[in-house]
Amino acid sequence: MPDLTAGQLAQITGTELRGDADCLIRGIAPLDQATAGQLAFLHRSEFRCDLADTQASVVILAPEDLPEYPGNALVTQNPLLAYAQAATALSATERPAACRHPTAVIDPSAQLAPDVIIGANAVIGARVVLAGQVVIGPNCTIGDDCVLGQASCLHPGVTLYPRVELGVECIIHAGAVLGSDGFGFANDQGRWVKIPQLGRLRLGDRVEVGANTTIDCGALNDTVLADGVKLDNQVHVAHNVQIGEHTAIAACVGIAGSARIGKYCTIAGASGLVGHIELADQVHVSSMTPVTHNLSQPGRYTSLLPAMPHAGWRKNFARIRQLDRMAHKLRRLEKQLAQVMSQLN
């Protein structure tokens, strides 16, 4: 981890420095655990109480928190973003020298830039194209005709089925499977007949895919993740799904086939989307929410009930089962009331 001064960090993060520009930073720590020589940050009000006692040499914080902290500060309206930029700079490591492990199996027709890194037991298929600065971790499998853009990285144990395309600076975490067959079957008198999955999977630039996430290829059209999409661990994206730019999807979300998700959306953990629906740009789905119809307007959408005592749930569920009968009764009462009011008039 390189040492940087507070002044250098201010330049890197585009923040306003209050205090000693020559203060040297050697590491990062939480606000309540930081010691001299470390950087900390405050971006949530519930941690403001830690400001008075922190031993951090520099704190990233918002302007409204500055009066409560007399020490060296990097002031910004977006402390979390500044922290991300500072942490990236402080955790930077030198890129290893280009190498191809002797146990890697590389098809002679593959086109590899001179500076790629290929780990132990990796398998590179026919006609694969790896651009400059690509890193392939140990035990990765890259199927025939895959294309990986500049500086993309596959962590250990990633599998790319044939014809997967990655843009520049994509990050695929361990165990992810990209381009597997979609769940497509025709029923022949109770017997399932597999439908060939003939489309591709295409990822844009700077897409990140979490560990053990699976993304299917298209059935006929391609499955597409646009620039800047971020997927957490254990997400499933089915065939023909389209995900717009800079949408972020948290862990354990399932997206059924041919769903279309707009730009700048967020989908919280354990939510589920049925197939063939569309989400507009800037739709934000709360955790564990089933999405069963189009969401055509931006905004936050929430469903299901939070946890409650079991006895209370049983009572409420008994009432839920009566809703249809109660609705019919209410309509009858409304009609009767309308008749009475008309007679009075």
Calpha distance 272→301 (Å, rounded): 12
- pLDDT at residue 34, rounded to an integer: 96
* pTM of the entire predicted model: 0.90
DSSP-assigned states of every residue in 10-48 = HHHHTPEEES-TT-EE-EE--TTT--TTEEEE--SGGGG
Q: Look up residue 1 and give its two tokens.
A: 């981890």
- H or E, element range at 312: helix 310-320
Strand ranges across the sheet with 214-216: 105-106, 123-124, 141-142, 159-160, 177-180, 214-216, 236-237, 254-255, 272-273, 290-291
Average pLDDT over residues 196-204: 98
Cα-based distances in Å from 43 to 151, 186, 243, 298, 321: 31, 52, 29, 26, 44
> Confidence class of residue 83 from pLDDT cuts 50, 70 and 90?
very high
Nearest to 284 by CA among 64, 292, 297: 297
Please say whether the beta carbons of 202 and 224 come within 8 A: yes
Known catalytic membership, residue 239: yes
- Lowest mean pLDDT of 38-52, 146-160, 161-175, name the range: 38-52
Q: What share of the chain is helix, strand, coil (3-state, %, to 5)?
A: 20, 30, 55
Q: State how far the Cα of 10 lies from the Cα of 175, in Å rounded to an integer.
A: 37
Confidence (pLDDT) at 31: 95
Q: Which member of 239, 276, 284, 293 is catalytic?
A: 239
Query: Would you place residue 92 in the very low, low, confident or very high pLDDT band (cuts 50, 70, 90)?
Result: confident
The pLDDT tens digits for 261-294 are 999 999 999 999 999 999 999 999 999 999 999 9
* pLDDT tens-digit series, residues 105-127: 999 999 999 999 999 999 999 99
What is the pLDDT, as a whole number, of residue 132?
A: 97
Q: How many residues does the chain have?
A: 345
Residues 6+ apart with CB under 8 A from 165: 146, 147, 200, 201, 202, 203
- Supply 250's token pair: 């948290």
The rounded Cα 70 to chain-centroid distance in angstroms is 37
In the predicted model, what is the mean pLDDT of the chain? 95
pLDDT above 70 covers a percentage of the chain that reads 100
How far, in whole angstroms, is CA 42 from its chain's centroid? 23
Cα radius of gyration (the chain): 27
Residue 324 to residue 326: CA distance in whole angstroms: 5
pLDDT at 1: 66
CA–CA distance, 192 with 186 (Å, rounded to integer): 6
Distance CA 202, CA 147 (A): 10
Which of 20-47 are b and which e, b meaning 16 or more Cβ less than 10 Å from the residue's Cβ? Answer: eeebebeebbebeebeebbbbbbbeeeb
**Block residue for tokens 């950087």:** 39
pLDDT in the model for residue 46: 87
What are the two backbone dihedrals, phi and then psi, of residue 330, each rounded to the nearest 5 degrees?
Answer: -65, -40
19 and 71 Cβ atoms separated by less than 8 Å:
yes
Mean pLDDT of 195-204: 98
| Cβ partners under 8 Å of residue 247, min gap 6 | 226, 229, 230, 261, 262, 263, 264, 265, 266, 267
